[in-house]
Structure 1
Amino acid sequence: MTTDRMPREKHAVLAEKFIANEQRTDWHDQTLWMVRQKRDRAAHGLPEWEQLREWASAIKAHTLSQLEQYLLEFEERAIANGIRVHWAADAAEHNRIVHGIISQHSATHIVKSKSMLTEECHLNEYLLQQGITVVDTDLGERIVQLRKESPSHIVLPAIHLKKEEVSHTFHEHLQTKKGNYDPQYLTAAAREHLREKFIDAEVAITGVNFAVAETGGFVVCTNEGNADMGVHAAPVHIACMGFEKIIPKAQHLSVFLRLLARSATGQPITTYSSYYSRPRTGQVMHLVIVDNGRSRQLGRSDFRNSLKCIRCAACFNTCPVYRRSGGHSYHTAVAGPIGSILNPNTDLKVHADLPFASTLCGSCSNVCPVKIDIHEQLWKWRQVVAAEGYVSGGKKMGMKGMALLFAHPVLYRIAGGMGRWVMHKLPGLLHRRYNPWYKQREMPAPPAKSFRNWYLQQKKTP
């Protein structure tokens, strides 16, 4: 799906803008690596970690192979529980359904907890066009909403911002004290502001982390309790989920809940893991199940495993490209490595650049709690992008030249020697204008000799 909100610049251009602020780039990189380290400590503290990953991957693979059966079972149980179930083929239909429910109840005060599906469908913008304002109640989401920005991370939506910027935003919109950068003070101000929204709420919108076919219930995980605050206060609850969130049995929740928070933030478990199975007395509960390209991805044997994703963002936190280019450079709701294999499925032309925003180092696959082969899918998407003609002529020529060079050792050695000579004698040719690799990097000192020459010399030395 494409929208007017999507920027026309590609990842490389948007990344260059982010990297221009070197201090922010370094801070962003270090902060996310710290989260990755917390994940590692949490994983290493659990002897059965790899077994949990194996189980989670197998459960998801089984579910995807029997998806129709489990979705129909879930729908039947949910309806029996008193939940009103809706099906949406795409983002536009999802938005119309949600708008219809809001209109049916003549609601004007809507609160929403974090939901990457509604971000994917651009629900807030759609409702705003209908004259309806939705208040995001996750702290990070509320910060970026006030700034009229999109989230840059699926777990840490405002990770690209510093406390000083949050303070300026709150001073402008919440009338906090100018220049007070204390996180506790700012959080308290946000809490007071959002409590009023919860009390007035007529409709609460949530996402869904896991939906259980066996029971017809679903789980919403938050660290702030904002989903619970909205749902327990509002007379109407609308839950929105992509159909891949389904799992067969309630007992499987223990596997995923032990993996989710540890992978996302290094916590043993999310602070609030709330299970909803039926509306409370006097409440109406709706559930919107969305396809929006997922069935197409399900039919692609090379990319089906991407639907196992539980949106923990572990791949974001470890990815050297994401950490240094920022989430907004991916021009999509779900950024990072997982977004780079999900989004080409929805619009290959618009997102053709994303599979190339990777070093193919494999770190994303190593940390994925459900063992998605992310780096392999990135490589496969590159083949699809090239086959569909969305690779520039210059890149094609360059890759063909490299293939020729690597296939002929003599040519490779000659080119290496010429390259070292140019770096020594004509460094001006390495200017940023002619060498994109050099734009945000310091060029290394050219070696006096190649590794091969050094190795041959060492062999001759007695």
Structure 2
Amino acid sequence: MGLTTSTKPFKERIADSKKDEFMQKAVAKAQDAQWIKREGAREKLGNWEEWRDLGEAIRQHTVAYLPDYLEQFSDNVAKQGGHVFFAQTAQEAQDYVKKIILEKEAKKVVKSKSMVTTEVDIDPMLLGLDDVNVMETDLAEFILQMDDWDEPSHIVFPSLHKNREQIREVFEKKLGYKGDNDPKNLANCARETMRQFFLEADVGITGCNFAIADNGMINLDTNEGNADLTISIPKTQIVLMGMERIVPTMKEAEVLDNLLARSAVGQSLTTYVTFAGRKLVDESDGPEDYHVVILDNGRSNALGGVFQSVLQCIRCGSCLNVCPVYRHIGGHGYGSIYPGPIGAVLSPILGGYKQFKELPFASSLCGACTSTCPVKIPLHELLIEHRKVMTDDLKMMRGFDDVQMRVIGLGTQSPFLFNSALRVAHTGLGVLSTKKNISVENMYQFGGFVNKGPGLVKGWTDVRDLPRPPKYKDSFKKWYQLHKAGEINND
């Protein structure tokens, strides 16, 4: 899978998403429910905007001094007997993990939910090794694994696109489950399957919400406790983290944990807030062999430039839960493991414009994502910056769409051409118009609506009503001219 979740073209993915009515209803329901929970949790915290300012300041400071904090973190891990590997690419990260698995002659590997492990294709690599079995232990990721490694559709709720009956069918097929579709019974089935695997696991692999620079520990926020088992039982632990997921001290981690829990799941704090590292001498459990893989994989492309603020992201998924585009196309429509507004900004940075050129345009630029972001990333402004880069710097938008926009530009900046277009618009668009029953007074009084617009207009008319323009004598411009000249009675 890696960063890309689909080989289908963008328009084909969107067409598939438009047909998936269950997914659309599930996303809408989740967005509405999360709005209530999220805003309620934020309100209880009090002074939410001040917390956002503090979160932004912490993340901006950390990213600005990233090399220093990464070096400090690495030194402190080493002091505890752990190992740190800096991976420039996904392949380097994958090769390092593979080396550890082979050295340990591991047979069973347990994983907790991690976007970075998905980004670097750890699961396919492990599945390709002889006599190695891997199990995703986050319930949602476990469901996707059982369903032949289905693609995730949300950063926080990966199996959002599935209902409980679909999950029951998957468990029946893969696990021999014979019960009903009650979520409690389904969860118990998953728990029984995982628990034995946990006890026999040789290696545990986790992600990292935040790494603490001044003590070398990692911070994990979870709701199921699976990450704690992944850390505690296997003798070897491998942590994969994006290089930006670091904070100076525990004090800053505490602030970000508060922001993350409220923004991601609408809770005052996640059920399990874990700080962990290599097993200490007086501890009864934990890894004896401890490895941290710090991944770049394109993140440094954002450093020192206009896109640097995207590295502030704490992966809460809040921007997905307010996005009107995500509401309609779901996660799979983006074709990236990072969907929604954050994915539309981050994916072209990590994977390049050639692979993700459509994503910066998959936005209404309403700004809801920016308004909800707990660390104040200006997401909609960064989407505009992506469009500027592709259009002005890389000259990627030089096709027929660009020709149409140039013609429109010439027409709208010339009073003569614009006035001429107004005079012929009613007649010219008549051949593309159709009648429709009037549902709103006067909306279609000028002869129907355009439902098969040409070129760029088609993207609008495929999903919206575009009323046919009035005759020139009935246009607003003509009315205004007469009104200004005093030929129309104001009464």
TM-score (norm 2): 0.87
2:373 to 368, 372, 377: 368
- Pairwise CA distance, 1:405: 4.0
Alignment-mate amino acid for residue 367 of structure 2: G
Instruction: Indicate the residue corresponding to 1:311 in structure 2.
Output: 315
**1:241 paired residue number:** 241
Q: Distance in 2 between the 1:271 and 1:128 partners?
A: 31
Q: By how many angstroms is 1:442 displaced? A: 4.7
| Correspondence 1:20-419 to 2 at 5 A | 20-131=19-130, 132-147=132-147, 148-177=149-178, 180-281=180-281, 283-299=288-304, 301-346=305-350, 347-386=352-391, 387-391=393-397, 393-408=399-414, 411-412=417-418, 415=421, 418-419=424-425
CA contact (8 A) 1:11 1:357 kept: no
Aligned length, in residue pairs? 458
Q: Does the CA contact (< 8 Å) of 1:355 and 1:381 recur in 2?
A: yes
How well do the aligned residues superpose, as a CA RMSD in angstroms? 2.5
Write the distance in 2 (CA, Å) between the matches of 1:255 and 1:395. Answer: 46
Q: SS of 1:215's equivalent?
A: coil
TM-score, scaled relative to structure 1: 0.92
Q: Which runs of 5+ in 1 are unaligned?
A: none
The CA deviation string for residues 353-384 of structure 1, in whole angstroms up to 9 with x for no partner, is 11111111111111111111111110110111
Whether the 8 Å contact between 1:210 and 1:220 is mirrored in structure 2 is: yes
Work out whether residues 204 and 231 of structure 1, in 8 Å CA contact, stay in contact via their aligned partners in 2: yes
- Equivalent of residue 431 in structure 1, options 444, 452, 470: 452
Q: How far apart, in 1, do the equivalents of 2:201 and 2:479 lie? A: 72
More displaced, 382-391 or 154-163? 382-391
Deviations 1:38-73 (A, max 9, x none): 222222333221111111111111111111111111
In structure 1, how many angstroms separate the alpha carbons of the residues matched to 2:34 and 2:259? 15
- SS state at 1:461 partner: coil
Q: Deviations over 1:264-284 (max 9, x none)?
A: 111111111100133245721
Paired residue type of 1:294? R
- Hey, what's the Cα distance between the residues in 1 that align with 2:358 and 2:126? 30
Indicate if the aligned counterparts of 1:112 and 1:137 stay in contact, CA closer than 8 A. yes
1:315-357 deviations in whole A, cap 9, x for unaligned? 1111111121011111111111111111112322111111111
CA contact (8 A) 2:313 2:375 kept: yes
Residues 433 and 58 (structure 1), Cα distance of their counterparts in 2 relative to 1, 3 Å cut: same
Q: Which amino acid aligns with 1:78?
A: V
The 10-residue stretch of structure 1 (228-237 or 33-42) with the greater mean CA deviation from structure 2 = 33-42
Tell me by how many angstroms 1:400 deviates: 2.0
The 1-side partners of 2:408 and 2:41 are apart by 42
What corresponds to 2:442 in structure 1? none
Cα gap change, 1:270 to 1:421, in 2 (>3 Å): farther
- Larger deviation, residues 330-339 vs 276-285: 276-285
CA deviations 1:404-433 (Å, max 9, x no partner) are 344346655654665555666642562388
Stretch deviating more after TM superposition (204-213 or 405-414)? 405-414
Q: Distance in 2 between matches of 1:415 and 1:398?
A: 15
Give 1:460 shift. Answer: 4.6
Higher relative contact order (CA 8 A, sep 6+): 1
**Secondary structure of the corresponding residue to residue 314 of structure 1:** coil
Q: Is the Cα contact below 8 Å between 1:124 and 1:133 reproduced in 2?
A: no
